[in-house]
Structure 1
Amino acid sequence: MSVQDWPRSTSAVEFGCSLDIRALGQPGDRDRLKGLCPRLSARSRYMRFHGALNELSETFLDQLMDVDHDLREAFVALQGEEIVGVARYVVAAESPSLAEVTVLVADAWQRQGIARHLLSRVRESAVQRGITGFRASVLPSNEPAQRLVNAVAPDHHVFRTSDGLGFRWSHSDPASRRHFARTTAAESSTPAASP
């Protein structure tokens, strides 16, 4: 399935305005993604990238844009032409059924359910490709990310990593399946945007 075939969705009720959620890869997305970094606070950049980062280098942008919509997938939330959030998965080298997930939302848009919505889309895409396990690396001081994992994957396992905490969960965990089913049902009731 090509990136143009992915469904688009909006939810004026959930986010308080119209947001477009779609796969990364449309013309102009590289510049839109680059424009997200200046809208992040120093704390948000540190929490997501586990270090100080003032702007996205061209090499790093290449990595972020490297999606094949199979082993590497990303979804973006847009308000107009501006990316306000992005979530992605990358299949782990050690197992084709395990994926590393990340999410980032611009400061002005945080705490509105956008990260949860993006992760739901990432999970839906991954599960369609046979991925059943997920993991995420989080700094110990990143309490919002830890709460997000607790919300989307109540049956997760926590482990120590070299730079913080690792979370691992399975789509087959009963609580995760229930949450996914509720989120998917809620998404299917939102109106579709025109392409």
Structure 2
Amino acid sequence: MSGSGLVTIRTYRQDDIGLVHALSDLLSAQSLYHRFFVGTPRIPTGYLRSLKTVDHRDREVLIALQEDTHAVAIAEYTRDTAAPRTADLAMLVADAWQRRGLARLLLDSLSEIALSCGITHFKADVLADNKAVQTAIHRHRPGSLSVEGSDGLRHFLLRTDPAPHIDEKETEHVEGRNGQGPHPADRRRIHVLA
């Protein structure tokens, strides 16, 4: 699967589980390790089962689809019950789509949703050797705080303020869930060039 073409970012639906499972085929062992912090040949079954708990408020998941048929990325937040204005952030992008701006678009979309749900900060744990993600965080969320943990992780605190670079002319919102009007990321279409 190439890293170009039309990409749709939308909220995760329960019938997307097969798409997320198939995303494993587009991920290297290193990408899986950087996301799950353990060696695994595929997206773990326990994680796939956990997607049943998505409630679109305390836990939101976005999926990026190439040509509406193949998942190329998944991004999510889960609200911290002890600090409800904060949520844990995680992302997984197919290897061919890394360093192309897709993670940034997912982060901006998640941020918009999180802000509408009262979440002002994301926490993100990044392996100390994952310099690409650390650099991207500092570039796209300047002023993010980070500390090196004794667990081999760098712990980041990012603001959820929307980034000013999303051009609303390039996005298309469609009717949201349950006829309640558009949810900020129900559907966002972006053309990514080769």
Q: How many residues are paired up? A: 171
In the other structure, the counterpart of 2:146 is: 158
> Of the two structures, which has the highest relative contact order with CA contacts closer than 8 Å and spacing of 6 or more?
2
Consecutive unaligned residues in structure 2, runs of 5 or more: 175-186, 188-194
25, 31, 44: which is aligned to 2:13? 25
In the other structure, the counterpart of 2:48 is: 61
Runs (4+) of structure 1 moved beyond 3 Å? none
* More strand as a share of residues: 2
Q: What is the rounded CA distance, in whole Å, between the counterparts of 1:61 and 1:22 in structure 2? A: 18
Residue 41 (1) aligns with residue 41 (2):
no
151, 170, 178: which is aligned to 1:190? 170
8 A contact 2:148–2:155 mirrored in 1: yes
One-letter amino acid of the counterpart of residue 124, structure 1: E
* RMSD (CA atoms): 1.9
8 A contact 1:96–1:131 mirrored in 2: yes
Counterparts in 2 of 1:109 and 1:76: CA distance versus 1, 3 Å: same
Q: TM-score normalised to the size of structure 2?
A: 0.81
8 A contact 1:74–1:89 mirrored in 2: yes
Alignment deviations for residues 127-173 of structure 1 (CA, whole Å, 9 cap, x no partner): 001100111000011011102211221111111232311001234xx
Q: TM-score normalised to the size of structure 1?
A: 0.81
One-letter amino acid of the counterpart of residue 108, structure 1: A
Consecutive unaligned residues in structure 1, runs of 5 or more: 1-14, 172-176
* More helix as a share of residues: 1
Q: Matched residues, percent identical?
A: 32
Q: What is the rounded CA distance, in whole Å, between the counterparts of 1:65 and 1:56 in structure 2? A: 15
